[in-house]
Structure formats: structure tokens, C-alpha cells
Chains A and B, each alone.
Chain A
Amino acid sequence: MAVAQPKTDATEARIAALTMPEGASWATEARKGALARLRASGLPGPRDEYWRFTNPAGLVEPEAPRAATFSDTDERPIFDAIDRVKLVFVDGVFDEGLSDDPALAGVEILRLSDALSRDIHWARDLYGALEERGQTPVVRPLAALNTAFATDGVAIRATGKAERPVNLIYLHRSETSDAILHHLVRVEEGAELTVLENGPAASRFNKCTEIDVAKGGTFHHVRAQGRDHERRAVTHMFARVAEEARYKSFTLTANGVMTRNEHVIEIVGDEAIAHVAGAALGDGRTGKFHHDDTVFITHDAVGCESRQVFKKVLRNGAEGVFQGKILVKPGAQKTDGYQISQSLLLDEDSSFQAKPELEIYADDVACSHGSTTGAIDETALFYLRSRGVPTAEATDLLVLAFVAEAIDEIEDEALRADILDRLSGWLERRRQG
């Protein structure tokens, strides 16, 4: 299919503003392949079906729109109480001085540029590979752009149980920063790794992570997206989950003009599990808030389980989007697929659009999906107020109750408590203006 001229022009203008980093010849080849994919599809435009509810403006232009940085507050940094290995990126550039010694994680960690300039077979097999697989049946041009031009990132390989979680911290210091990060994660057979991510990263952030979980491996991901109001982010998590492997991801988002988080997961081995969850709190009061979760889970094995649990709390004109698909391929019998997306609209200016999809080509499966949009329960609100809880605080209690199902998806108790703490803190500060 030919790409329309205006789209080609926009795509070329963006490409012209970027430089392909150098690396080993295999890496350059992978990048060139991605560039060809980007050119073939063109950058997303407002008329693309996959971008019907989210206008890609701001994500595709040659220059990143300016975004104010949010000065550090007295707020305790998230995950602070967790014994973890911090790897810090400032406006998309790895900062060794601010980071911990990667060796403390008990897994192999390389900076992306190192991984891509040597002959590291697992990195070579992974870089751009899952992203490329994720381009069918729906194109994801911003991910292809990422593979072609990513300037930094990490490559992590766990061969056993990691000693500590790896915490990728993204600081935002420059109002015009435009960061493209690409991470590779390989969890070997029976190995176990937790990756934590937090921070606003940049004025515009394009992040792509490819995760390959081998047989019996476990990958946990917990992310708190930074709260700088004006930041924009598009992220892709491409995962391949092998036999008896487990993949679990949770994301908390508050603020941000624009966030599009895509998850593309392919379950390729029997008895595997993939869960993705998210809670987003949007307030249009301080500008725009648009948050899009787009999830595509493919079942291509027997006896696997997948869950998608997404909750959004929207007020003052905030916009929420959910596009979620479960694809069950022929032969993927005994699939157990669950998908729920819900929004709590705190006023009439806010909106939620959902497109839940099931596509099933096997006959012995149990898949369910549901999507709801609702307002605050007035009866519950009055009950709380009649006990002396002021309206704003009562509303926040109900908000926490609403997102609980998503937060409960975090398996680790300490991480779950940390996320809850963060969330209550945000709500409290917001209440106090």
C-alpha cells in the first residue's frame, strides 16, 4: 500500500532530524531494516485507524514540543524503600555518576551502545526482532523509528534469579529534550528479573523495550510514569513469552499531556502467563491530559493465561483511551483470556474511549472482556460524608477503591505498597492544592 504524500513528507522531515548511531555492522543492518519499516508505513497520522482516539500530533514532528521540567520536591523518590540497582538517565542519556554499580543486580547489564557495537549473540538476536514481529498485523511506526534511531538504553540478561531489581530512572532536566531509548531484556531459562521504571524522562520520550522470556523464566515490571504535566511519551513493550514463563507488567500514570503505552505480547510456549495492568489518574486542570493504553496479546500455545486490567480516573477534561486485543491463534486451546478496562469520570468534561477486541480461532478457550464508564457512586459518597469524611477526601477513597483491582496485579507486596503510597500521596497533595 502506498503511503500518501503528506505522510511521506512528514516522515522524511522527522527522519532528516535524526542521526543513526554507529555500531557493529549487524546493528546497523537491524537499524536500517527498521528505517525501511518506518518508511513503508509512514509515521502515524490522525486518520489512521489505530490512532483514531489519540492524535499523534506532538509525537511525530521533527522537534519536540517544549515541556516545563518539574523541580524536585520534598516528595520521597518512588521505590526508595526497595533495595534496587539504580540506572539513571538524564534527558535520555545514561549518567554513570548518578547510577549504582550495575554489577550489584547480579545480572549482566550493558549500555546499549556497547551491546550494539560488539558481537553479543543474544542482543543481536533480539534487537529489532520483536519490534519487527510486532508490526503485523498492525504497524507501529514509532517503534520502528525507535529501533532505527535509539541513542541509548540498556541490555539486561538474567541467567539466574537477579539479586536486586533493576530500576531505570528517567530524569527530565531540559525543556526541549527529545529522548529515544531502547532496552533489551533477556530472561534465560528459569531465571527471574524485576525491572522498575520511573520518571518523566524528557519533554518527548520514545521508549521501546524488547523482552524475551525463556522457558520457565519470570519477568516483573512495575513502572511509575513521571508526573511532569507537559511531557509526552510513547512507549512500546514487545514481549515474547515461552513455555511456563511468566510476564507481569504494571504501570501507574499521573499527569502528562500525552501518553501512549503499547504492549505487544506474544505467548509462544504452553502454560505461560502474561498479565498487563495499569492505573492512570488524569487531571485536565493543569493543561491537557491524554492517556492511551494499547495492548495486543497473541496466544499461540496451549493452556496459557493472559490478563489485561486497566483503570482510569479522569477529571477536568482529561481523556482516556483503551485499545485492547486478545488474539487466539488456531491450536491455542485451553486459553484463558481476561480483559477489563474501566474509567471513573469525575465530571462531564472528561471522556473515555474503549475498543476491546477478541479474535479467536480455537474452539476450547475461555475469554472474557468488559469495559465500563461510570461516575462516582453518590450513595457511597454520602455514606462517607455522613461519617465525617469531607467530599474531596471521600472521593479519593473511592478513587483508590476503583483502581485497587489494577494495583492488586502487582505481585510483590513491597512494590504494591510503594505504588499505593505514591498514589495516596498524589491524591493528597492534589487535594491540598
Chain B
Amino acid sequence: MLEIKNLHVKLEEEDKAILKGVDLSVEAGKVHAIMGPNGSGKSTLSYVLSGRDGYAVTDGTATLDGEDLLEMEPEERAAAGLFLAFQYPVEIPGVGNMTFLRTALNAQRRARGQEEMSSADFLKTIREKAKALKIDSEMLKRPVNVGFSGGEKKRNEILQMAMLEPKMCILDETDSGLDVDAMKLVADGVNALRDAGRGFLVITHYQRLLDHIAPDVVHIMANGKIVATGGPELALEVEKNGYASFESEAA
């Protein structure tokens, strides 16, 4: 589903290489996790895949179901089925959460040549999904992420994911800042979406999330590269011994 080959990325404004040859492929139906030290390039990878400005791809490719992601505008990537749950969700004063989600959903549908969702269907669906994530209707009416606590913002990201039903979901530290119960809600949200047609790339620092969302494959990123790939046991090893052994490999 998601194929990343030899991806090299530097900052657009300065000569600073951040990704130095990332190879990664996520198959449909699988959950891949990426762990790695601070500053190793995990968020950068997620931003480059979703099309944020400020980065220059100097080599390599990234495709989603064979389509070149790097050639597309961010909105086209979303319509193609890519979703990024942000490490730092953005506050948008003045834009209601509901308006935001309905606009996004219908824009994606239009881009895919589908009918827009009626207001009634939209309301029914969002109420159901919000309830599962314990997001109350008052929060839905508020401006996007404004005045939300850290944990509420993360839950709101998962609500967006549940509404948009993307085929490739990237979660950047969605577990950070969550209390135990919220972590469970988020994990349930992710697990509810797991199916044969959907891939996940879960960026995390903690084994704790992976206890709830059992990954099929775990990657270690260090210094802009994937330096180790293995099963769930790799995450346990990191939890125990840290990244020291991987970092020496990357250097």
C-alpha cells in the first residue's frame, strides 16, 4: 500500500539533510510501528508524506497504491486516502469542528467523484463516532482544537480519522500526553478501523500504546534512516535497553 524507497529529504531553506535513505513498505491490513530517538526524523517523514512545505526531496520515491505521493498537493493525498494524525494538532479559532469535518469529508468525496454526504447522515455518523471516543457534543461545536486539552486534541484527531476513513493512517505520537483511559479510547478507535484494506503507520515512543494496538512490524528509526526492522519484540527491547545499540549502527 505505502511504498517508500530510498527517501532523502533536506530542509528547503538550508542544507540540512534529515531523512537519509528511508526504505519502508506498509501492506494493506497491517500495522507498522516506528520508534526512534528524538530528532531522528519520524515527524519529518510523516510531514513529507502528507505534503507539508519546507522540505525538499532530494532522492527516492513514495507511493500510495502505486500513485506518486510526492507529486500531489496535500489535499490530493488526503483524497487518495492518506491521513496524518498530527503530533501537534493545530488550533483554528473561528472554524467550528463540525464545519471543518463536514467540509473536509465532502471535499474528499467530491475529489473522488462521489456524492456529498447529506447533513442528516453526517450528523448521525459524527454523533456515533464522537460518542465512542467520549467527545461530547459541546466539544464538536467548539472551534477546531481551541481550548482542547492535550488529550482532547489527540482524541479529536482520531475522530477525524474515523470520519474520513482513510486507507493509510499515519499516527504521529498520538499516545503522547494521554492518560491511561484516553490511551485505551484511542487504541479502541484505531482497532475499530483495522481491516484488510487499511494500513497503519504508528509513530510512538512507548510500548504502552503497542500493548493496545498490537503491531505486525516494528521499525527503529535513527539519524534519518530505518536501522532495524522486526516483530513486536523489537519494541520490548527498546523499552528495556534504549536506543544506544541502534544509534551506533546508524552512525
Contact = CB atoms under 8 A, between A and B. Distances in A.
B94 interface: yes
A404 B84 CA distance: 28
B99 interface: yes
Interface string B219-239: 000000000000000000000
Contacts of B95: 397-398, 400-401
Interface stretch (A28-36, A61-69, A312-320, A381-389): A381-389
A408 to B, nearest CB: 10
A385 B75 contact: yes
A389 B93 contact: no
B99 A397 contact: yes
A340 to B, nearest CB: 14
B199 interface: no
A389 B75 contact: yes
Interface in B47-96: 50-53, 73-75, 77-79, 84, 86, 89-95
B78 A385 contact: yes
B90 A380 contact: yes
Contacts of A49: none
A389 B92 contact: no
B111 interface: yes
Contacts of B93: 401
B34 interface: no
A190 B155 CA distance: 50
A398 B92 contact: yes
A386 B78 contact: yes
Contacts of A384: 92, 100, 104
A5 interface: no
A392 to B, nearest CB: 10
Interface residues of A, number: 23
A386 B164 CA distance: 11
A405 B143 CA distance: 13
A391 interface: yes
A388 B52 contact: no
Contacts of B89: 383
Interface in A367-417: 377-380, 382-391, 393-394, 397-398, 400-402, 404-405
B74 A379 contact: no
Contact of B94 (A378, A383, A387, A404): A404
B75 A390 contact: yes
Contacts of B144: 383
| Residue of B50, B79, B92 with most chain A CB atoms under a 10 A cut-off | B92
B174 interface: no
B108 interface: yes
Contacts of A387: 78, 100-101, 104, 108, 160, 164
B170 to A, nearest CB: 10
Contact of B143 (A385, A390, A394, A401): A401
A168 B24 CA distance: 66
A378 B53 contact: yes
Contacts of A385: 51, 73-75, 78
B103 interface: yes
A155 to B, nearest CB: 40
Contact of B103 (A382, A397, A405): A397
Contact of A382 (B74, B94, B99, B160): B74
Contact of A397 (B74, B79, B91, B100): B100
A388 B108 contact: yes
Contact of A383 (B53, B92, B103, B107): B92
Interface in A213-237: none
Contacts of A400: 94-95
A346 to B, nearest CB: 16
Contact of B111 (A382, A388, A397, A404): A388
A402 B94 contact: yes
Interface of B: 50-53, 73-75, 77-79, 84, 86, 89-95, 99-101, 103-105, 107-108, 111, 143-144, 160, 164
Given A382-B52, A386-B75, A386-B86, 19 more contacts: A378-B53, A382-B53, A382-B90, A383-B90, A385-B75, A385-B78, A386-B50, A386-B52, A386-B77, A386-B78, A387-B104, A387-B160, A388-B75, A388-B78, A388-B79, A388-B105, A398-B95, A400-B95, A401-B143
Interface of A: 377-380, 382-391, 393-394, 397-398, 400-402, 404-405
